[in-house]
Amino acid sequence: MKKQLTILVLVFLTFPIFAQSKITKEQLEKTEQLFDLQFTESERDSALESIETYLKVYQTMHKNALKNWVSPALLFDPMPAGKKVNTVQQSIKWAMPTEVSLPQNKNDLAFYSISQLASLIKKKKITSLELTQFFIQRLKTWGDTLQCVVSLTEEIALKQARQADAEISKGNYKGILHGIPYGIKDLLAVPNTKTTWGAGSYKEQVIDQTATVVSKLEQAGAVMVAKLTLGELAMGDVWFGGRTKNPWNLKQGSSGSSAGSASATAAGLVPFAIGTETWGSIVSPSTRCGTTGLRPTFGRVSRYGAMALSWSLDKIGPITRSAEDAAIVFEAIRGVDGKDKTVSNFPFNYTGKADFKKLKIGYFKNNFDSLKDASMELSTIETLRKLGATIEPVSFQTSVPVDIINVILMSEAAAAFDELTRSNQDELLVQQGKRAWATSFRAARFIPAVEYINANRLRAKMMEEIDAIVSQYDVIISPNFQNNFSAITNLTGHPVVVIPNGFKDDRPTTISFLGNLYDEATILAVAKAFQEVTDFDEKHPEKFK
């Protein structure tokens, strides 16, 4: 009787009646069809005792409430068996412009790059305190318009800015982020501040943790000015305070779930922000708002202090206005911390230079062909060819059913928010439709453990198939969402940088550069080369200039 009997019992967790009476063979028979199973009468009879035992174990487990941030013992590793990557870290030298002046129109300062702002601070043409107050005022002026701010961290920011100025005046300059303001997605914990996760159920929540990303930026001397919105529990752009807006079109949401991070960065309310992605949450709002977003390789940035949605899919990365800025921020936040066991310490050898004579670049032709209008995408390829790149067509395909992402993501998300579901606090979430989290968490209780494990076995097969394609190239170009590109590359853990590549109907369009595992440096260098000969990253929404 080893026919996957354990999966049947999971459904009974949602039916209180089974905790009060014996499970019957008739109940098992009615349940089987939910799991694509069919047992005989004798098989059901033999299974009853074990299923009732499992149920008692579950009831015991439920007496031990687990907080969202308690990780499972199982760890995901994106590296296919036998794959080797470079392990030697070289020094990085950031190019800081020497002749940067304060603009005549002070609002222009809002769209200066990180290196330009750093030059002003280092040369003492502006203090960190002045710069911080400038961005805080912009957040106060435009935050409600965009509905992109959960809370201003003004007291923290002013203290950090004064400290930065004191350190710099004494000659203790920490580097290019010293004194630079930034915002974080409000699923990252900071002591003595509310960490709402965008959800009414948690809008008063205070977590006594400092997210590693925040700690690393503080060590670099950066100044945290705001906690920015996310769609509730990291879905979409609707949160308990409203809907975060696209600064290019205020009638449109900014997409999500890193809604506030992309919106605020695009509108010049912060020089850069931190976002997270499980399945499109950096790429999608960057696409809508025209920002540059880096979704790093899985396991590059510690998620300690971040809300868990899916332990094997969650990633943290920067949302900026250029590839160079993304590289600067990524270098500061990456690396091990001894708290997130999935994080590796592979090197980030960014030079900012792309030698197109040596780089092998491809584009996913079937993804391009599936677009109704691929003119912007083809123009991107043509621009890179003019820079000297040889670009060849590649087929993007896998034999694995991509829908496994639903089984994996929803299983992990339902576990992460088990306490929310069981306490009925899920009723406080803004969205309650068929595709909302509250419904998805309930439905995911019917996903058998055996199917979750088998989905991950198929995932391993997908990882090998996709890496066999990607590893033949240094960079592969693709539209952001065609042919399940986002789902597949999130499952495999490969890095992507999304950048603006044009405009349609006065709104930005973007494209993705896919890289090899742990090689964010190359895709960022190619993205920078593209941005140096185009001006799409230098255009900003008129209302916020």
Residue 100, token pair as written in the block: 């940067």
Measured in whole angstroms, the distance separating CA 510 from the mean position of its chain's CA atoms is 17
Which has the closest alpha carbon to 250: 198, 289, 292, 293? 289
Candidates 92, 124, 96; CA nearest to 112 is 96
Rounded CA separation 20/239 (Å): 38
Q: Identify the CA nearest to 184 among candidates 218, 219, 158, 142.
A: 218
Distance CA 152, CA 166 (A): 23
Please tell me the number of Cα atoms within 13 Å of 400 on its side-chain side.
23
Single out the residue of 250, 261, 230 nearest to residue 145, CA to CA: 250
Q: Is residue 262 a contact partner of residue 289, using CB atoms and an 8 Å limit?
A: yes
Amino acid at 390: T
Single-letter residue type at 472: Q
d(Cα 271, Cα 159) in Å, to the nearest integer? Answer: 19
Q: Write the DSSP assignment of 268-303 as a string of letters.
A: TSSS-EEEEESSSTTHHHHHHHT-EEEEPPTTSB--
Query: What is the C-alpha to C-alpha distance for residues 98 and 247, in angstroms, rounded to an integer?
Result: 31
| Options 185, 216, 227, 528, the catalytic residue | 185
Q: What is the rounded distance in angstroms from the CA atom of residue 243 to the CA atom of residue 285?
A: 13
**Catalytic status, residue 257:** yes
Is 395 a residue of the active site?
A: no
Active site (annotated) includes residue 101: no
| Residues paired with residue 67 on neighbouring β-strands, in sequence order | none
Which of 257, 284, 486, 512 is labelled catalytic?
257
Contact by Cβ (8 Å): 287, 258: no
Bridge partners (DSSP) listed for residue 242: 239
Count of alpha carbons within 13 Å of 273, Cβ hemisphere only? 37
Catalytic: which of 201, 281, 322, 440?
Answer: 281
Q: Which residues are catalytic?
A: 185, 257, 281
